[in-house]
Amino acid sequence: MAGIRNIDETQEPGLALDLDADTDYAIIARNLGKTYRLYPSSMARMKEALSFTRKKYHKPHVALSDVSFGVPHGKALGIIGENGAGKSTLLKILAGTSMPTEGSFEIKGNVASLLELGTGFHSEFTGRANIYLAAQVQGFSKAKIEDKLDEIIDFAELGEFIDQPIRTYSSGMIMRLGFSVATAIDPDVLIIDEILAVGDLYFQKKCIDRIFDFRKRGKTILFCSHSLYDVRQICDQVIWIKDGRAEMLGLPQDVTLKYANYERSLDNDPNEHVAGHEQASGDNLPCIDSCRLYVRDETSHRPMPDTVPIGTDLVFELSFRVRQAGNGVNVGAAIFRTDNVLAATFNSMLEGLPTLWDVGEHTARVELPDLRLNEGEYTVVGYLFDEHGVHMYDHRQVEKNVLVTLDVNMPGLVRLHHRFAIDEELVPPLDESSESPDASPEPESP
């Protein structure tokens, strides 16, 4: 987002927002803040209201403080942070469902928001009736709603349930209807708060496709999610909200990396970030001592940096012990994207390596040349299995995640080696009815 000053730990909070005069902003937030009054009981609230001395019975809770940013037309801003950091409070203010106690904001155009499941829906109304209700709340006429009705119903894919009361819907069905209504009315600004965490993968894909279609048509998006992968794919810039304040604002790759490192640093005990402690696998069973990742170059191995480009040569090492004779060990490893999608697995048994029986310390190594994972954040986990490859003795995750970068946005999980050919002369497929070049000729008829 052009003209937006980055906020990081080297800057003092409360500095004026520096906007680019040549940029057309759809959203401008200036020093937004929200303070709630927490009362110990309803009686305390009443006492404060009736107090002639204006005695305070509440405790103030600052949910949001001094948050400033601007979002140009047609851009997407991601919002990340821990639970309770103030993300939803910020979005509620911008959506108009909550009033700030300090600061101001401007939004150009009509706004559609998906903040909480079922927001704006009446549980006793049918899905069809709730379409009219939700759209009219957004300021749309009955005629325009009827014009969009079939499109909304088709996108939601609720079938006969569209004429059933909302109270009979699952959370995924409510999300389908809510997203379909919010996007079908074609808002200028779309606000999404973690709504895509609910529902099946098929419909999530439809939602993502529609979000990208919104971007192509010049719409403005605020996207709040715990999925850093989705944030990096969708957003042009990201703001990290920490303890109610803007901790950092910048490019998705930079902010999500800083946030991911912060999340891993919350607990100083590295064993809390891994699975597979010695005692968890029994006193005499094989156990993992450590696992690590290296980057291999032409001359040596070096520690894995914060980010690696696609095509990097990685090396995964697992140090383990066989503590008692008679326990056969096979080694495995797996790579998961941080949204728990399994990307790849490796297994010493499938590679034809013999089961290890020797008591003592051992090191297993998996070399991953020319890493083909697409842009995203990945975890690597090592495993110890028995001689049958069925029982798992121990497992442990590499403490530092792999953050793969790519120069261009390339959807998908892997970037396979390939070559495009268009209108080239291709070798025709073999006609099974034709003679094989090695076949003997048929004898001629007399």
Q: What confidence tens digit (pLDDT) does each residue in 410-441 have?
A: 778 888 888 888 887 666 666 655 555 555 55
Instruction: Please give the pLDDT value at position 383.
Output: 93
Residues 262-273: tens digit of each pLDDT: 776 664 444 443
Q: Which CATH architecture has domain 25-265?
A: 3-Layer(aba) Sandwich (3.40)
Q: Where in the chain is the domain with CATH 3.40.50.300?
A: 25-265
**Start-end of CATH 2.70.50.60 domains in the chain:** 280-405
CB 117 within 8 Å of CB 166: no
For domain 280-405, the question of CATH label 2.70.50.60 is answered with: yes
Q: For the whole model, what pTM was predicted?
A: 0.63
Measured between alpha carbons, how far is 312 from 90 in angstroms, rounded to an integer?
39
Chain mean pLDDT for the chain: 82
Confidence of residue 3 (pLDDT cuts 50, 70, 90): very low
pLDDT digits (tens, 9 = 90+) for 258-307: 887 777 666 444 444 343 333 334 568 899 999 999 998 766 778 888 88
pLDDT digits (tens, 9 = 90+) for 343-357: 999 999 989 999 999
Summarize pLDDT for 200-258 with one digit per residue, the tens.
Answer: 667 777 888 888 888 888 899 999 988 887 788 789 999 999 999 999 999 887 888 78
